[in-house]
Amino acid sequence: MLLFFALLAAVGCAGFNGVAAVLEKIGAGKEETATSSHPGLLWRLRGNAPYLAGVGLDLLAWVLTLFAVHNLTLFLVQPIIACSVLVTLLIEHYFFGRRFSNKFVYSAGAILVGLVLLASVSTPERAVSIAHGLRLWIILLPLAIAAIGSVVAAVQDKYATFILAGLSGVAFGGVSIAGRAIVFSHPYAHILTNYLVWAIVGYGLCGILFFTIALQRASASAVNATMIACETLFPIIMGLVFLGDHPTHKLWLVVIIGIVCTFSGTIFIAMHSDKN
């Protein structure tokens, strides 16, 4: 039963994230395009109803993510969340008249095949203790993301836009990694003194800012697909290498094929979504 609710949480996260990307695109598009990583953009959007609704859905998605990653492997949870790119594309198709090409259909099929493969070899996992060095690295990474993003945000070209989208994905993936590493214990109030909790806040702020800037410069589907690709692959690798994730019966080949299918499909959508 716990496995079912964890899977349901991951699916809910994908749905919320997919809808949020569209709402945030609508809101961010009403503001002047940002030419730096100054957080003033987020301040200007504080009264924008569509944008705030999108952020609210993202916050709900993060709560669901924390529950999911504490009970399932990252290489199962993250690909499920990757389905948010399909949600975004469907919304843009039905409400904004975007058309799908055969390339999109094949890419979506690759993502779904990857999900089925990963789900077939997944086993429930609990959070594990991590080494002090790795914990410190997780805590400090938001600072590095912020520094790189501040440089890239000043560059006005297509590649900079998708680098920002990728950085936002790494940041959102960091939320899953830090959430997986947190060990909840009594009394729960002590969780506020855990540096990993504040790292999650840092990851979230970086992710929201860079994602919003990228949304101002490209379509929601392209930006969301790029973000999701990085948000998916980064935690999966971390979970397999450092956090003790493993497939049932040691079917690593199935894991590799599933990751490649999911990641390739998402990247292909990012590359061609503006042409759909």
- Sequence-ordered alpha helix ranges (H) in the chain: 2-28, 40-44, 49-69, 74-82, 84-96, 102-120, 132-152, 158-181, 195-217, 220-242, 252-272
Three-state DSSP class for residue 3: helix
Write out the two tokens for 161.
Answer: 């836009």
As for how many domains the chain has, the answer is 1
Q: What is the pLDDT of residue 276?
A: 43
Q: Please give the full DSSP string across 62-93, using - where no structure is assigned.
A: HHHHHHHHTTS-HHHHHHHHHTHHHHHHHHHH
pLDDT in tens, 164-192: 999 999 998 898 788 777 766 656 566 66
CB 16 within 8 A of CB 64: yes
pTM: 0.80
pLDDT tens-place string over residues 43-83? 889 889 999 999 999 889 888 987 887 777 776 787 788 78
**Parent domain of 270:** 2-275
Residue from 159, 155, 147 nearest 34 by CA: 155
Q: What is the DSSP letter of 32?
A: P
pLDDT mean across residues, the chain: 83
Residue 259 neighbours by CB under 8 Å, 6+ apart? 75, 79, 114, 118, 233, 236
